[in-house]
Structures are given as structure tokens and as C-alpha cells.
Amino acid sequence: MEQVDVIIIGSGQGGVPLAADLASEGKRVVLFERDRLGGSCVNYGCHPSKLLLASAHAAARARRAARLGVHAEVRVDFPAVMQRVRRVRDQMSSGVGRRLEKAGVRVVRAEARFTGERTVEGGGLTVTAPLVIINTGTAPAVPPIPGLEGTPYLTNLTFFELNELPARTLVLGGGYVGLELGQGLAQLGSEVHVIEMAERLMPTEEPDVSEVLHAALEADGVRIHLGTRAERVAHENGRFSVALSNGQTLEGEALLVATGRRPNTPALNAEAAGIELDARGFIKVDDRFRTTAEGVYAIGDVTGQPAFTHVSWEDYRRLMAVLKGEARRRGDRVLGYVAFTEPQLGRAGLTLEQAQAQGYKARAATLPMKRVARAIDLDETQGFFRLVIDEETERILGATFVGYEAGELVQLIMVLMEAGAPWRVLEQSQLIHPTLAEGLPVLARQFTQ
């Protein structure tokens, strides 16, 4: 057994900067990674999907340009699209390796498991340390549908290895992953069917968000099946057949399973280290990232936090501060996220319903995109801006933006929320005409009425 200063399990967007920073301070750091360096974001999530969507959205916008009097013939070279995805992905993953090497981190390319208190084994190496950090993330949750196991179905882990565009693609799940990749394939030329058990797409979002996205996907040719589930899967001669609970059977050359996430904890042997998991298998932590085992911390979505890269990276910043004795907490931030559908969904903080459930005297204002001059100029009038405020303190509690580049705009609200600024700051602001952001003061002025 070897004694080191720090053990890190997982090379995601929190684990890598932690390893690099701690090693740069002169600590002996060992990082275990069983898969590609960089975690989900670099290899299977954020960047590969957005690389794909860059091509898909370019094709869709070229077709839509006819609305502006511009007529284009669009030809998609799908193998070239996927080659670019993998080339840039591989460059990013290699860059992570170079960063760790430069910092002096010892990388063990093997699955890690606890064998005792702050003792980890993997790849024939057993190490112990006073500080252990777990950043193992999550993986696709595959439902136990009869006939599914053993078929070449896709998840986000395997999707980006596609070389040929499927003529027909069946997508199980109408959440963020299913809609982004499903719409992307439709824009690239596949016939896409989305199957969602709930009565609307993105069922965790507000109903009018679902309505806007439903209309947009249908406009791209996506066929949507709501309130139904897959009851049986068959695969024969390169073709999937999915029997639905409504009696319908769908066929396709590809099947994408995007039905949720599960924590990467089964292989950890957490019990051996005294680390408690919750009923779903996520690691239990307090507001300073401490697990139930002394000296062991966990960050990112393996703790049940939202599965977003910026959350994991901000966990890294907070944990570094905690280790230095500073008064940072896991929850001392404004949560925001984006779904990169077209149009985009940008969210920050609370919805009106969530705010009222928490006891706020909350009020919301909504501005349709068709009232924003720049959106009219671009002919991108799908969606709306929505702001939620606390009438007692005048602080901004949240925002829901659906529309063209909504992900860029919602971050203006996040900055105001982080600063604790009242909504009147936005209402009194003079923003540049004609821009999409110019609509935000107009939105806030509704609270003066």
C-alpha cells in the first residue's frame, strides 16, 4: 500500500481542476479514471452534442432562410459531421491528459474501489490518503423493457460513434438529452419519433415551455408520442421494433434510450469506506461536500445534484475554498441551465410555482418573443421571456426564457440574482436597440403596472 496526499476518483469537470490545483501546491495526487479523460462533458455530453447540433442547426437555419427570401439547397454529409464531432472531442480529452501531466498528477487508468477507510485500489495499485474526493458522475439509466437488453440500442455513451445517418430513429424519453439529439437528427435528415411517458415533453418544466418546444420539434418533422411507453423491443435484420402501450408499433434503424440518469457508485464499494448512499444510490453529502466518512468528499451529479458541467465546476471552486477553511457552501449559488433545442430553453432560479411553494409572495411577468423587435427582424418569434420576483423584497427569484439564443440571455438574469439586485435595476436599464436583450427591461416594466 502506498501513502499519498490526495486521491481523486473521476476526471470530470470538478475532479480535473481539483487534481491539477492540489498537485500544483506540491501535494502527491493520484487520480483514478476508468474511461476517457474529461468525463461526460468532454466525451459524451456537452461538447459532442453541441458539435453535432452546430451542424444540425446550421442545416435547419439554411432551410428556414426561405422565410427571409433566401433559398438554399441543403446537403448533409453525416459522416463528415460525426468525424468532426469525434476529432474535436478527442482533442479536448487529450488536452485534459496534458493538463494533468503538466501539473504532476499521477493518473491511473483503471476502475477504482474502496477497500477500507480512505483506501482505494485500482489497476493493481492500492493507495491511502487523508483526503479523498469522489467525482464519478452519472450514467444513462436504461429501463428494464423486455427485449431491450442485448440489442445495439444507443445511449449518449455510444451515440457519437454513429457513422451513418439512421433513416428512422426512435427516441425513448422527451427530456433534455432526447430532445436535443432527437431534434438534431431530424434536422440532419432522419425520421425521428420521440416517445414520452408523460403527457407533455420536458414534463419537469412549465407547461407553456412544453407547448413551444412541441410545436418547434413538429415543425422540424419530429413525430411525438405522448402519454405512452415502450412495452417491448425487438431487433432483427438491422431494424428495431418498439411496441407501445397505446397499441402502436414503431420501427426504426436506430433506438436512442434517453430515460434518465443513475449514479456511478456501484463499483465504488462505498460501504467499505463508511460512505452512505441514498435510496437511489447517490452519495450523501452535507452542504460542505462531506460524505459520512471522515476525510472523504464528493462533488457533482454523483451526489444527486443537477447533471450540469458548470455545477460540477463550481463545486470544485467551493470545495477548494472549504479545504482552505473558507465559508463556502454547496448551495450558495444561483442555479441555471440551458437546453440547446431550437428554440433554446434557458432557466435560472425558481419558477412561479416553485417560489410560491417555498412561501414567497411571488409574481411573474411574461413577454412573448413576437413583441421583441430583434426577434421580428430575425423571424425568430417562437417563445417568451418570463421573470419571477419577490414582491416583498423586489429581488429576482427566477427566469424562464424560451427562444432564439435564450441560453445567452438568461445569464444576464443570473448575474443580477447573484448580486441580489432588485428587478427595478433591470427595469431602469437602457439596453441597446435592436437586440434581443432589449426586451428584458420591457419585461420588467410589467411589474410597474
* Annotated binding-site positions for NAD(+): 173-180, 196, 260
**For residue 277, what is the DSSP state?**
B
58 CB-contact burial (10 Å; exposed 0-12 / middle 13-18 / buried 19+) = middle
> Cα(408)–Cα(241) distance, rounded to whole angstroms?
40
Of 47, 57, 225, 433, which one is the catalytic site residue?
433
The 3-state DSSP class for residue 326 equals: coil
Catalytic residue check, 433: yes
- C-alpha to C-alpha distance for 315 and 283, rounded to whole angstroms: 15
| Cα radius of gyration rounded to whole Å, the chain | 23
Answer yes or no: are the C-beta atoms of 106 and 24 closer than 8 Å.
no
Distance of CA 38 to the CA centre of its chain: 15
Q: Which of 28, 12, 7, 263 is nearest to 116 (CA)?
A: 7
Number of residues that this document lists for the chain: 449
Q: Is 193 helix (H, G, I), strand (E, B) or coil?
A: strand
Under a CB-based contact definition with an 8 Å cutoff, are residues 223 and 183 in contact? no
Provide the 10 A C-beta neighbour count for residue 108: 20
The alpha-helical segments, DSSP class H, found in 324-438 are 352-357, 373-378, 406-419, 423-427
Burial readout 6-36 (b: 16 or more C-beta within 10 A, e: otherwise): bbbbbbbbbbbbbbbbbbeeebbbbbbbbbb
**Among 13, 22, 34, which residue's Cα sits nearest to residue 268?**
34
Cell of 298: 464528493
Distances in whole angstroms, Cα of residue 433 to Cα of each of 264, 279, 420, 440:
48, 52, 26, 12
Compute how many other C-beta atoms are within 10 angstroms of the C-beta atom of residue 358.
10
Is the distance from CB of 192 to CB of 223 less than 8 angstroms?
yes
Q: What amino acid positions are annotated as catalytic residues?
A: 433
